[in-house]
Amino acid sequence: MRLSTRGRYGLKAMFQLALHYGEGPIPLNTIASEHDLSENYLEQLVSALRKAGLLNSVRGAQGGYMLAKDPKDITVGNILRVLEGDIAPADCVIDDTSGCDKEEGCVTKLVWMRIRDSINEVIDSISLQDMVDEQNKLLNNKA
């Protein structure tokens, strides 16, 4: 039940971009070296996030990436779904079109649904802005 590195690296990258929201494009190598990640690998993740409309890019020297929307309008759920697909503990509860045969009266399915819903509730309720605020709170407590 672990997330893959796609979701984990991706959220870190998006969070860092949120910290610098409004400061113009930030190049990938900055983000990659800061978190000690492969720049080429990160590129794949960022590419998906751009195609999903969560990031904008500026090509060429002095280019880079920036959030496509305000951090308060991007949730952890938005990011994870782009990188990991729908979050669900079993295929039969991904959406309403999926499901197995016996279906009706499958009690284990109810369990998977409850797990799914509780995860989604958490990831959809946390925005990048929430994370930035949390970060500032942590820094203030230290100072």
Quick one: which of 41, 53, 133, 135 contacts DNA (CB under 7 A)? 41
Which residues in the 84-123 window bind DNA by CB under 7 A?
none
Pick between residue 22 and residue 141 the one whose CB is nearest to DNA: 22
Q: Considering only CA atoms, give the Rg of the chain.
A: 18
> Which DSSP symbol is given to 50?
H
Binding to DNA by residue 16, rule CB under 7 A?
no
At CB < 8 A and 24+ separation, what contacts does 15-22 make?
Answer: 15/128, 15/131, 15/132, 17/55, 17/65, 17/66, 17/67, 18/67, 18/71, 18/74, 18/128, 18/129, 18/131, 18/132, 19/132, 19/135, 20/66, 21/66, 21/67, 21/70, 21/71
Which residue type, as a one-letter code, is found at position 99? G
Q: What is the DSSP string of 121-134?
A: HHHHH-BHHHHHHH
Pick between residue 96 and residue 103 the one whose CB is nearest to a copy of itself: 103
Site string for a copy of itself, 94-133 (x = CB under 8 A): -----------x-xx-xxx-xx--xx-xxx--x----x--
Which residues in the 11-70 window bind a copy of itself by CB under 8 A?
11-12, 15
Binding to DNA by residue 61, rule CB under 7 A?
yes
Structure tokens of 96?
């309403």
Quick one: which of 3, 48, 52, 68 contacts a copy of itself (CB under 8 A)? 3
- Among a copy of itself, DNA, none, residue 47 binds (CB under 5-8 Å by kind): DNA
Interacting residues toward a copy of itself by CB under 8 A: 1-3, 7-8, 11-12, 15, 76, 84, 87-91, 105, 107-108, 110-112, 114-115, 118-119, 121-123, 126, 131, 134-135, 138-139, 142
